[in-house]
Structure 1
Amino acid sequence: MDGETADSSPFDRIRSRVTRRRLRIAFLVIVILCGAYLAYGAVTGVTTATEDGVPEAPPTENHTVVTESAKFGTIIAYAPNGSVAYYNNSHTKYFDVDPVEGESMTVEYVATDTIHTAGPRCQDPPCARNVIERANLTTGEVTELYARYVPEENAAEWHDADRVNESHVVLADMVDDEVYMVDTETEMIEWTWQAQSEFPVEEGGPYPGDWAHLNDVEVLNDGRVMASLRNQDQVVFIDPETGMQENWTLGEEGNHDIQYEQHNPDYIPEEHGGPAVIVADSENARVQEFQREDGSWNRTWVWSDERMQWPRDADRLPNGNTLITDTNGKRVIEVNESGDIVWQVELSHPYDAERLGTGDESAGGQSATALGLDSRTAGDDGGGGGFSLGIFETVSDVVRGLLPSRVVNAIIYVGPTWMGRPEFGAAAVAVLTGLTWTGLELRWFLRARGITFQSPITRDERN
């Protein structure tokens, strides 16, 4: 029986067939397949670093504006027929973008430039320059409204500014962990709320580095301001006269069941079925909505699919659909009231999306409760919007379950622009295979030279 005995176990028979040569061939095949898949992703992946690389979008009724911020920054506007109507990559990063009320095809956005050269405005590079600009998407004319230099680069951006009137905006200042209103004509700051007035520096992110990560601000119709403190996992409501309204706070430090390092919450007022907040629950890879009921926030709607990976914006549209920016999923999607994806465009690293003609962010939309929306998650039939799982996506799911979501998202964020979740899975398979192969080769090498290692755990044969 070729060396096998009749009473040998199935495990012994299998092990006798697993030779070193066969193992090496198997490892090599796996590495080659992973490499081929990654190479295919690099060749076919979308890279919007230049206008030539921007894909067309499906047709829709209005213009759609998208910003990107990663290895490069862009602002892209799609015409209703899906063609690219505007493109600009002048700044290092682009963040929140809003329509300008009363001006057709005009938007305002916040952007950041990284300064790498020493000079009068940056003695110790890298530094940053934050700017609010207004752009006419038809003429291409860009007007600078307000700017500031920052003597550092890490956590030094403005991610959002919200207009109060023609001369005043409210800023989410990540640099100094504060929200303030500034007159952009005189550059005088008229009021300030500091996160340290309410939150201990022992919580949140590392202090004095990226501590609060204030990534969003919204001026409400009643004069209050809603702000997002990402690293505290909380959305707060601020009265400019009296400070933070603690009983309105949504979320809790470290309670990731509620939300985990959220982005871009939108407030839906009572006249549209609120008070409600729709928010990109980034590290939990979902979009969700909370309704204000009896003095507390109750989750009323959740949406995600198998592909979703680090969403950072969600807007409720007047037609009941939801426009979602899925940053590490490399796409912007529109989900209808049934939870189906009805519009999608692939992009390198989208941050914020705005559908012109529908109001600022979710201003024209209704709450999930008013619309009667049902939640839909990755486990529901059809939740993937036609995206079927393959071996690398499955491996990616396993690895994501073993690693903290922040680690997975950080790897995808700093990886090549074409690296999404399936490519991350292929890379993980290649790395694990390489480590296993290297470990076995080292073991075989040492054994061939008579070097063995004894386990520190031994069995006591006396009992």
Structure 2
Amino acid sequence: MNAESLPSIDRVRSEITRNRLRAAFAVLILISAAVVASAAASGGLSTASKEDVPNAPPTENHTVVTESGRAGTITAYAPDGEVIYYNNTRTKYFDADPVEGDPLTVEYAATDTIHTEKPYCGSPPCTRNVIERANLTTGEVEVLYERYDPNELAAEWHDADRINETHFVVADMVHDQVFIVDTETEIVDWLWDAQSDFPLEGGHEWPRDWAHINDVEYIEEGQMEGRIMVSLRNQDQVVFLDQQQGLLEDWTLGSENEYDVLNEQHNPDYIPESQGGPAVLVADSENAQIKEFQREDGEWNQTWVWEDDRIQWPRDADRLPNGNTLISDTHGNRVMEVNESGAIVWQVGSSLPYEAERLETGDESTSGESAAALGLESRTAAETGGDGGGGSDGLFGFEPLEFLGDLIETILPHRIYNGLLFVTPVWMGSSEFAAIGVALLAGLAWAGSEIRWQLHDAGVRLRLPVYRQGD
């Protein structure tokens, strides 16, 4: 070998630099893969089978939790925290209410998605919506009313509220309607169509999940007795309906795209005058807060807000008779009770909880008082920073992936981030998203570097379209 055949010093240095970069890229990808693999191995919290459902801490009454995510479940806990009832036969379970006079019997709205061709589903998927009654002691389940719909997207009833022995008011998300049905005759006695009062240009793109009516409540006392409160999620509004007059515009809470008031809310509860109202307690889902609004001088004024550093897409909140608030934190994977000072005093894990109900406290905890009557003080994430749990174990208290995950959550719109959480495995969180992002960026940078090096070795020079003269 002569001197001319030896690689130049510059070539050697170049190869060393390339190998170092390759090693750095490989290390980044391996570390990211290890983070994701570790989270996947843990499996995260799953309530898809009864064996995986965690026991709850003791509390005074029975608690029912429904889920409508990757698995549809309804679970009932005894006061000692033991699971006394579990059912996952439906695709999704939504709002559940105790039956008056028999708190260990509940009525709820549920959905089945049908994926096989049948006489009532000629072109799958189709949807079957039901109102069911379940005896939590005997396990007996009875279908009170059902309807089949020929589509799957947003083809659900998220809520059905009993009016009397024979009639329910139903939140019909399928057709953007609210209707009252006699479950004995199956005749619809009254119907309100959201199109009669809201423009199709608003909400989600019509006809795919335009209004997303996710809650109804028949008001039984006070000045609004006999009226119906309705949540139109995609219009960011809670409205009140009169069966003769229709929409009571002066009572509307929120306005479309006025996100500082409500942002795609779920499951508002009406608090009547006898409990310090009129007031509305609501899960402000995309704002990741629980809020309460008081009716004062013909207007709605926010009087209370609760959040901590973990809450993510809450979808239900009930004020309990003891002054505490029961919250379903869907992407926080928990159901919790916070006391009057805002501290978490009871909590149980759940994969994707939709609704939680304390059975002995009445339908939607009807005897709970308003925040104004109780003198509740608002709590923000900064004030409840320790309640969500989870300290940092990183170098000098710094976790790079946690930081990047928080940055991703901050940058992405809430709806997109919550959508990612909804469709990805339950063990995926902000740190895992950050790890996947780091791995993808490292892989792309590695591939781009290899291409550039190959072109450089082949004598191909790439020049920017704009450069200084003499370059």
The reply on whether 1:111 has 2:110 as its aligned counterpart is: yes
Give the 3-state SS of the residue equivalent to 1:205 in structure 2: coil
Instruction: Report how far residue 418 of structure 1 moved.
Output: 2.6
Which position in structure 1 is the counterpart of 2:26? 28
Instruction: Report how far residue 383 of structure 1 moved.
Output: 5.2
The reply on whether 1:371 has 2:374 as its aligned counterpart is: yes
Give the 3-state SS of the residue equivalent to 1:395 in structure 2: helix
Instruction: Report how far residue 437 of structure 1 moved.
Output: 3.6
Alignment match of 1:259 (pick from 235, 242, 262): 262
Q: Tell me if the contact between 1:395 and 1:429 (Cα under 8 Å) persists in the aligned partners.
A: no
Tell me, in whole angstroms, the C-alpha distance in 2 between the residues paired with 1:247 and 1:158.
Answer: 27
Which position in structure 2 is the counterpart of 1:38? 36
Change (3 A) 1:90 1:27: same
Which position in structure 2 is the counterpart of 1:434? 443
Tell me, in whole angstroms, the C-alpha distance in 2 between the residues paired with 1:301 and 1:445.
Answer: 62
Deviations along 1:325-363, whole A, 9 cap, x unmatched? 111111111111111111111121111111111121141
Which position in structure 2 is the counterpart of 1:417? 426
* 114-123 or 411-420, which deviates more: 411-420
List gaps (5 residues or longer) in structure 1. Answer: 1-15
Deviations along 1:260-293, whole A, 9 cap, x unmatched? 1111111111111111111111111111111111
Give the 3-state SS of the residue equivalent to 2:360 in structure 1: coil
Q: Which amino acid aligns with 1:65?
A: V
* 53-62 or 420-429, which deviates more: 420-429
Of all paired residues, the percent bearing the same amino acid is 62
Aligned length: 446
Change (3 A) 1:446 1:49: farther
Q: Which amino acid aligns with 1:209?
A: R
Which position in structure 1 is the counterpart of 2:249? 246
Instruction: Report how far residue 54 of structure 1 moved.
Output: 0.9
Which position in structure 1 is the counterpart of 2:401? 392
Alignment match of 1:356 (pick from 359, 370, 373): 359
Q: Tell me if the contact between 1:67 and 1:76 (Cα under 8 Å) persists in the aligned partners.
A: yes
Q: Tell me if the contact between 2:308 and 2:384 (Cα under 8 Å) persists in the aligned partners.
A: no
Q: Tell me if the contact between 1:118 and 1:124 (Cα under 8 Å) persists in the aligned partners.
A: yes
Q: Tell me if the contact between 1:145 and 1:184 (Cα under 8 Å) persists in the aligned partners.
A: yes
Tell me, in whole angstroms, the C-alpha distance in 1 between the residues paired with 2:229 and 2:436.
Answer: 40
Instruction: Report how far residue 214 of structure 1 moved.
Output: 0.3
Tell me, in whole angstroms, the C-alpha distance in 1 between the residues paired with 2:334 and 2:266.
Answer: 16
* 446-455 or 295-304, which deviates more: 446-455
Alignment match of 1:231 (pick from 227, 234, 241): 234
Which position in structure 2 is the counterpart of 1:449? 458
Change (3 A) 1:412 1:437: farther
Q: Tell me if the contact between 2:310 and 2:388 (Cα under 8 Å) persists in the aligned partners.
A: no
List gaps (5 residues or longer) in structure 2. Answer: 1-13, 393-398
Tell me, in whole angstroms, the C-alpha distance in 1 between the residues paired with 2:454 and 2:320.
Answer: 63
Change (3 A) 1:119 1:57: same
Instruction: Report how far residue 192 of structure 1 moved.
Output: 0.6
Q: Tell me if the contact between 2:216 and 2:228 (Cα under 8 Å) persists in the aligned partners.
A: yes
Q: Which amino acid aligns with 2:61?
A: N
Tell me, in whole angstroms, the C-alpha distance in 2 between the residues paired with 1:429 and 1:308.
Answer: 25
Root-mean-square deviation (CA, aligned residues, Å) is 2.0
Tell me, in whole angstroms, the C-alpha distance in 2 between the residues paired with 1:436 and 1:300.
Answer: 50
Detail structure 1 runs of 4+ shifted over 6 Å in the superposition: none
Give the 3-state SS of the residue equivalent to 1:113 in structure 2: strand
Change (3 A) 1:247 1:140: same
Tell me, in whole angstroms, the C-alpha distance in 2 between the residues paired with 1:136 and 1:217.
Answer: 23
Q: Tell me if the contact between 1:212 and 1:229 (Cα under 8 Å) persists in the aligned partners.
A: yes
Tell me, in whole angstroms, the C-alpha distance in 1 between the residues paired with 2:288 and 2:106.
Answer: 28
Give the 3-state SS of the residue equivalent to 1:250 in structure 2: coil
Give the 3-state SS of the residue equivalent to 1:32 in structure 2: helix
Instruction: Report how far residue 460 of structure 1 moved.
Output: 7.7
The reply on whether 1:80 has 2:112 as its aligned counterpart is: no
* TM-score between the two structures when normalised by the length of structure 2: 0.90
Instruction: Report how far residue 161 of structure 1 moved.
Output: 0.5
Q: Which amino acid aligns with 2:247?
A: M
Which position in structure 2 is the counterpart of 1:13? none
Which position in structure 1 is the counterpart of 2:183? 184
Which position in structure 1 is the counterpart of 2:11? none
Deviations along 1:104-130, whole A, 9 cap, x unmatched? 311111111111111210111100000
Deviations along 1:15-50, whole A, 9 cap, x unmatched? x9x944344333333333332232232232111111
The reply on whether 1:66 has 2:75 as its aligned counterpart is: no
Instruction: Report how far residue 254 of structure 1 moved.
Output: 1.1
Change (3 A) 1:141 1:257: same
